[in-house]
A and B are shown apart, each in its own frame.
Chain A
């Protein structure tokens, strides 16, 4: 009964739901849509409009009302995928699968048997989720070597497909999701679409003189950077990431998206190739909070194949539009005010706090005293589980196998040396060290105890009446790749996960919501952390915040210069979102 509101007192008794009227389209969200140039079957629908810049919810309404067909939408997204190939967002584009799914979806719409909000919606999936019949690489030579094709779908993938979603492809990541930049995978780094946005380019022109534009592209953050870039560049309407220490929220913040890490146990991990089983959660990347709620509603619930998922039934997610925040209590953890935090993020953070306060919410400083131990504790627990989880990649059954065959042991060693990158091997070595009999008590057990203390910090704060915590998601906006690679993966991960990874340690739901653009014209997101299994309440508050801040839509006209003529600044008056 995790969603029984009586247990989640956050919004108990004071949720004000608007009169059932649908979400109002933010004005800023409509400046990107263009005409379909492919004539419809009757040859007369030249003006069919598709709204690639729009939200999932909006495009879903358009599909239902017949303003666009799933096939048209799919083809549009495929063409954007091709145009944005240089972003390196996708490892595999499953064009044929997507078109086939679109065809089937179209048949359903024609018969009036749509499967729901996701029917016909293009989505992308991080390449560490198993997809039946579609190669799954984890951006590692280990699986890519022989082309590992899973014989089954991850539960979350299956649930999306069961709802009629179109799988556009598998997105890029750091090898086995180990990293915070999406720069350390075997397929190369992912480029942040904002590097090519009008907003960023204009600011750069003002500042820099004649820097080489192309060498200064920005990282997406990671490790779900491919999924973030895919949604941000309009190649799909939602994407699955995974979140172990911030891997969904971090790239969401850098790419101007909503990045949701649900409560641990709310969404099945079956089929997600694990990083840290006790912290991994499938993440959701979308353009707005409502979209994240729609996807979460589809994914959430018990899975008999994952014993760590909740047993209780989950009700469908419908986010009320909060109009009154006066009874909310927002906690600001003082430990999150670190010297490394950029002044811009810091000021936006306090601006957000002020916004809540000015609307009548109670905003208080709270303490999470064990925060500073979180990173080192995470390091021990993460590497230990990594050492264990990676043991199955031995070259025998699937994936890469070396040519050495003098002995099984020699074959294991060479296979693993060739198959894993330095980051993965480094974590395996550390983890095995921590798990040695002589070290287990001093490292692993201690780290588990610290983890408990960190989780208890949150319990204490929430028990004191705080409904939700408001924190930064990242230290700063996205940095150029050339800057990013100056430090090694471990240092960067430690820095970049600082605000996000405690929520994983405690299993709490957390969402990054884009707030504003930095002086450089780049997105900055803030994070809300909620009580365990109060994901709906968390998203309700996030939705209110989203509506207040009116974050601008990325302007990618230059990126898509060859189709700039079809970009129109015209509102889609014909699409009604009432259902």
Chain B
């Protein structure tokens, strides 16, 4: 990969969030052989994981796996961590590159205040200790998309340390049992992003995009296996995982691969690997064979980052020059765990529903807006939002904000349902109509499609009568004591009403008539 490298740049800004957790998934199964290989691998600090978890299996030698994650998340900010150039998703390559981003000699980093605030806020949300003094370091390695030859990060004294994140998952037969787990967070650090290498194998070229404002999340997973009670095994690092699904797959695969390797008398190399999402396996990265010495050194162009709280805030300090941790704490939005708890309390919602509601961006707000305008039961609303709406969204791969059905429309629909103006199945039909987004209200749709429930008791009784007349055999079956036979009659009546009658009402009339 020699040669013409287009190198304009913007090392973006991101922080690496190293969190540590145990993992215990291990099953048998031979890893697929992988033949393709990838280049690239900018490496990063590998975290030594501390927690082990184990789940012994019958008839197997016990293995425990240890997993540590290094999570790179992009900060939502207008400009980059150390330069004034802008951040845009999917901007043309190298269009957002300042002289600093291009590492022109003589340029100096200038810390972006917004990024510091975001890091502090994240630290608070993750129960971290915020370091009132943190330092920046240079981490050196040569790579084409690292124009300065070093990356500015926070190795020695990061902005936040020692946090934890309690997370829950549903287990049990009906997934009704909620289990809480705690992941420890070792540190949160502000870190400059490198550029992006695009390898053109055909022309044997590497192209560099220094915008680097894409990829909201990137995770490196450090994985090792060992026998419980014995020292930790040699770890491998699977790099650049960009979705939770791939992360889980890569970890599962890597644990199993390591177990197989060791059980077959092999050994685990301390190496970096990449995950091939097509083949579902991890493969060693070519240029990461030797152990790198990053030759860390303090970044001399950035003074220590000092943060204050209400107590330590210097009198008369310019608010533009100082960052007050307590002020950021006040701005901290309600954390998801609190919101979930409230949902369960307030609406009697199942915990697993509260998770789903929060995991989808905008879904909770949608739910709450529906709740404001409807008389329907919370349970009903939850069901419609989580099953119907979310189902439609997923099917078409849309975000909540892109839903053609507005919260008000859904609320109106649920009101119709609530006052039994329409049947459930009619409601589904109305929803489908709403989804088509032809600018009609639920009421209009109901009226146009004649979907309203038959409220005319007399007419309904006549229909029931006619059905009974037409199906004497079924009536006989009922009278003989076959309890299911009445359902057939109900179905026939509904059909005759074009599904516009309430089955319970039909049942009542039929029972009365049959009994007479």
Contact call A435/B296, Cβ cutoff below 8 A: yes
A439 to B7, CA, bound (A): 33
Interface size range of chain A in the complex: 35 or more
- A313 CB to closest chain B CB (Å) equals 12
A387 to B109, CA, bound (A): 18
Q: Does A398 contact B (CB under 8 A)?
A: yes
A interface footprint on B1-44 (CB within 8 Å = 1, 0 otherwise): 11101010000000000000000000000000000000000000
A392 to B303, CA, bound (A): 21
- B13 CB to closest chain A CB (Å) equals 15
Looking at the complex, which one of A154, A391, A408 makes contact with B150 (CB distance below 8 Å)? Answer: A391
Which of A311, A384, A392 gathers the greatest number of chain B CB atoms within 10 Å? A392
Looking at the complex, which one of A130, A271, A387, A409 makes contact with B295 (CB distance below 8 Å)? Answer: A387
Contact call B103/A444, Cβ cutoff below 8 A: no
By a CB distance below 8 angstroms, the chain B residues around A393 are 105
Question: Given A388-B150, A396-B147, A405-B3 in contact, is the A305-B110 Cβ separation under 8 Å?
Answer: yes
Contact call A274/B106, Cβ cutoff below 8 A: yes
A interface footprint on B275-301 (CB within 8 Å = 1, 0 otherwise): 000000000000000000101110011
By a CB distance below 8 angstroms, the chain B residues around A277 are 300-301
Q: Does B108 contact A (CB under 8 A)?
A: yes
Contact call B108/A397, Cβ cutoff below 8 A: no
By a CB distance below 8 angstroms, the chain B residues around A148 are 105
Q: Secondary structure of the A side of the interface?
A: loop
A304 to B103, CA, bound (A): 18
- A287 CB to closest chain B CB (Å) equals 28
- B211 CB to closest chain A CB (Å) equals 15
Contact call B138/A388, Cβ cutoff below 8 A: yes
Q: Does B167 contact A (CB under 8 A)?
A: no
Contact call A150/B149, Cβ cutoff below 8 A: no
Contact call A307/B147, Cβ cutoff below 8 A: no
Looking at the complex, which one of A130, A138, A276, A394 makes contact with B142 (CB distance below 8 Å)? Answer: A394
Contact call B301/A308, Cβ cutoff below 8 A: yes
Contact call B99/A151, Cβ cutoff below 8 A: yes
Looking at the complex, which one of A143, A269, A387, A394 makes contact with B108 (CB distance below 8 Å)? Answer: A269
A396 to B2, CA, bound (A): 10
Question: Given A388-B297, A396-B144 in contact, is the A150-B104 Cβ separation under 8 Å?
Answer: yes
Question: Given A154-B106, A437-B293 in contact, is the A408-B1 Cβ separation under 8 Å?
Answer: yes
B interface footprint on A365-394 (CB within 8 Å = 1, 0 otherwise): 000000000000000000011011011111
By a CB distance below 8 angstroms, the chain A residues around B293 are 436-437
Q: Does A278 contact B (CB under 8 A)?
A: yes
A130 to B102, CA, bound (A): 15
Question: Given A277-B300, A308-B303, A391-B149 in contact, is the A408-B2 Cβ separation under 8 Å?
Answer: yes
A152 to B302, CA, bound (A): 21
A interface footprint on B141-166 (CB within 8 Å = 1, 0 otherwise): 01010011110000000000000000
Q: Does A557 contact B (CB under 8 A)?
A: no
Contact call B106/A444, Cβ cutoff below 8 A: no
Beta-carbon nearest neighbor of B295 in chain A: A435
B420-471, CB < 8 A from A: none
Q: Secondary structure of the B side of the interface?
A: loop
A393 to B102, CA, bound (A): 12
A385 to B110, CA, bound (A): 19
Q: Does A568 contact B (CB under 8 A)?
A: no
Q: Does A407 contact B (CB under 8 A)?
A: yes
A interface footprint on B81-107 (CB within 8 Å = 1, 0 otherwise): 000000000000000000100111111
Contact call B147/A392, Cβ cutoff below 8 A: yes
A278 to B108, CA, bound (A): 12
Contact call B102/A385, Cβ cutoff below 8 A: no
Which of B99, B150, B295, B296 gathers the greatest number of chain A CB atoms within 10 Å? B295
By a CB distance below 8 angstroms, the chain A residues around B105 are 130, 136, 138, 143, 148, 150, 273-274, 392-393, 398
Q: Does B353 contact A (CB under 8 A)?
A: no
A252-287, CB < 8 A from B: 269-274, 276-278
Contact call B2/A392, Cβ cutoff below 8 A: no
Q: Does B312 contact A (CB under 8 A)?
A: no
A411-466, CB < 8 A from B: 411-412, 432, 435-437, 440, 444
Q: Does A406 contact B (CB under 8 A)?
A: yes
Beta-carbon nearest neighbor of A268 in chain B: B108
Question: Given A394-B149, A435-B295 in contact, is the A306-B144 Cβ separation under 8 Å?
Answer: no
Question: Given A150-B106, A271-B106 in contact, is the A444-B297 Cβ separation under 8 Å?
Answer: yes
Beta-carbon nearest neighbor of B149 in chain A: A391
Contact call A436/B295, Cβ cutoff below 8 A: yes
- A373 CB to closest chain B CB (Å) equals 20
A129 to B107, CA, bound (A): 11
By a CB distance below 8 angstroms, the chain B residues around A273 are 105-106
A437 to B296, CA, bound (A): 8
By a CB distance below 8 angstroms, the chain B residues around A271 are 106-107
Question: Given A277-B301, A385-B297, A444-B297 in contact, is the A392-B108 Cβ separation under 8 Å?
Answer: no
By a CB distance below 8 angstroms, the chain A residues around B110 are 304-305, 307
A270 to B108, CA, bound (A): 6
By a CB distance below 8 angstroms, the chain A residues around B148 are 391-392
Contact call B140/A407, Cβ cutoff below 8 A: no
Q: Does B206 contact A (CB under 8 A)?
A: yes
By a CB distance below 8 angstroms, the chain A residues around B302 are 307
Q: Does B321 contact A (CB under 8 A)?
A: yes
By a CB distance below 8 angstroms, the chain A residues around B7 are 396-397
A397 to B149, CA, bound (A): 12
Q: Does B268 contact A (CB under 8 A)?
A: no
By a CB distance below 8 angstroms, the chain A residues around B2 are 405-408, 411
Which of B106, B109, B138, B140 gathers the greatest number of chain A CB atoms within 10 Å? B106
A437 to B99, CA, bound (A): 31
Contact call A391/B140, Cβ cutoff below 8 A: yes
Question: Given A387-B295, A436-B293 in contact, is the A392-B106 Cβ separation under 8 Å?
Answer: no
- B151 CB to closest chain A CB (Å) equals 11
By a CB distance below 8 angstroms, the chain A residues around B108 are 269-270, 305-308
Contact call B104/A408, Cβ cutoff below 8 A: no
A154 to B108, CA, bound (A): 11
- B12 CB to closest chain A CB (Å) equals 18
Contact call B295/A151, Cβ cutoff below 8 A: no
Contact call A307/B297, Cβ cutoff below 8 A: no
Question: Given A272-B106, A391-B148 in contact, is the A278-B142 Cβ separation under 8 Å?
Answer: no
- B139 CB to closest chain A CB (Å) equals 10
B293-339, CB < 8 A from A: 293, 295-297, 300-303, 321
By a CB distance below 8 angstroms, the chain B residues around A408 are 1-2, 144, 206
Contact call B107/A270, Cβ cutoff below 8 A: yes
A507 to B48, CA, bound (A): 39
Q: Does B485 contact A (CB under 8 A)?
A: no
Q: Does B505 contact A (CB under 8 A)?
A: no
By a CB distance below 8 angstroms, the chain A residues around B142 are 391, 394, 409, 412
Beta-carbon nearest neighbor of B148 in chain A: A392
Beta-carbon nearest neighbor of B142 in chain A: A412
B interface footprint on A133-155 (CB within 8 Å = 1, 0 otherwise): 00010100001000010111010
A379 to B1, CA, bound (A): 37
By a CB distance below 8 angstroms, the chain B residues around A396 are 5, 7, 144, 147, 208
30 A/B residue pairs, CB under 8 Å, sorted by A: A129-B106, A151-B104, A152-B99, A152-B104, A269-B108, A271-B107, A273-B106, A276-B300, A305-B110, A307-B108, A308-B300, A388-B138, A388-B149, A390-B149, A391-B142, A392-B147, A392-B148, A393-B105, A396-B5, A396-B147, A397-B147, A405-B2, A405-B3, A407-B2, A409-B142, A435-B295, A435-B296, A435-B297, A436-B293, A437-B296
The 4 closest A-B pairs by CB, nearest first: A391-B149, A405-B2, A435-B295, A277-B300
14 further A-B pairs in the complex, CB-CB below 8 A; given A152-B104, A154-B106: A129-B106, A152-B99, A273-B106, A307-B110, A307-B111, A385-B297, A385-B300, A390-B149, A391-B148, A392-B149, A396-B7, A435-B296, A437-B295, A437-B296
Residues of A participating in the B interface, judged by any CB pair closer than 8 Å: 129-130, 136, 138, 143, 148, 150-152, 154, 269-274, 276-278, 304-308, 311, 384-385, 387-388, 390-394, 396-398, 405-409, 411-412, 432, 435-437, 440, 444
